[in-house]
Amino acid sequence: MSEKLFCDVFEEPFPHLIAYNFYNDKELELIWEELKFYTKPGKFFTPREFGGVPDMTTHGAIQLDGVYRDDSNIQNGLNYRPISNILTVNRKVFNSGVLDEFAKIHESCWIAPLCDHDITKVRYYHDGESYDAHADKSFQFLAFSYFYREPKKFTGGELFFPRQNYELTCENNSTIIFPGWVKHGVKEVKIEDSAYYDGWGRYAITSFFTNTIKTVSTHGFRE
């Protein structure tokens, strides 16, 4: 049975889409299974290690593509991605039709469904953690999905956009899609009476997507 997804689309202050209850119960169970697995000592990396900007944030994260590599294109190589529930279910960003809806918001977004390369990071923000505003300028588009245990114990953690003086609350199981040129940050998360590994913080599964360069010649780029 096909599944109905509910989205809000906005052209201003920049093109963006918010999909609510993005993952179904079965997918959520798979996601939480993996989030709980990572929420233990020694699993989340520091910003310097996961490719974040060390001076701008302290939260822990894992770049899943680096752990579960697809080596099927090399001799005797295997594709390890199916081992990750998250890398498997988050294909929904690319095959559920939300990118087609996003593409209609503004002419500058039409190319989003054609992107052929993405990376996925799992992030965890606990008490006192934030991300200063920055632009992920190497990527054409970004899709951020949010998860937290209910009843919600933390405050803050909003996604903010300083150039537009705009912010979004990041509802549980919602996905926000917007262009890579939009400067964004995460407001400080505050939690009282919660140990880091109890898992009451703010989780995000973030997808960065763009196009691979197939061939580069000395005269420029070729398709």
Contacting residues toward Fe ion, per CB under 5 A: 136
- Residue-by-residue DSSP string for 150-199: SS--EE---EEETTTTEEE---TT-EEEEETTS-EEEPPPEESS--GGG-
Report the residue number, 65 or 136, with the smaller CB distance to Fe ion: 136
Min dist CB 17 to Fe ion, Å, is 17
Report the residue number, 136 or 158, with the smaller CB distance to Fe ion: 136
Report the residue number, 28 or 135, with the smaller CB distance to Fe ion: 135
Min dist CB 152 to Fe ion, Å, is 22
Closest CA to 30 of 220, 222, 205, 154: 205
The answer to whether the Cα torsion of 110, 114, 119, 121 is positive or negative is positive
Closest CA to 30 of 79, 85, 68: 85
Min dist CB 129 to Fe ion, Å, is 14
Report the residue number, 153 or 182, with the smaller CB distance to Fe ion: 182
Q: Which residue is nearest to Fe ion (CB)?
A: 136
Min dist CB 51 to Fe ion, Å, is 11
Min dist CB 50 to Fe ion, Å, is 12
Report the residue number, 105 or 142, with the smaller CB distance to Fe ion: 142
Contact in structure between 108 and 50 (CB atoms under 8 Å)? no
Q: Assign residue 217 a region: left if phi > 0, alpha if psi is -120 to 50, beta otherwise?
A: beta
CA distance 156 to 144: 16
Q: Which residues, 6+ apart, have CB-to-CB distance to 60 below 8 Å?
A: 44, 45, 46, 50, 123, 124
CA distance 95 to 111: 15
Report the residue number, 59 or 81, with the smaller CB distance to Fe ion: 59
Min dist CB 179 to Fe ion, Å, is 12
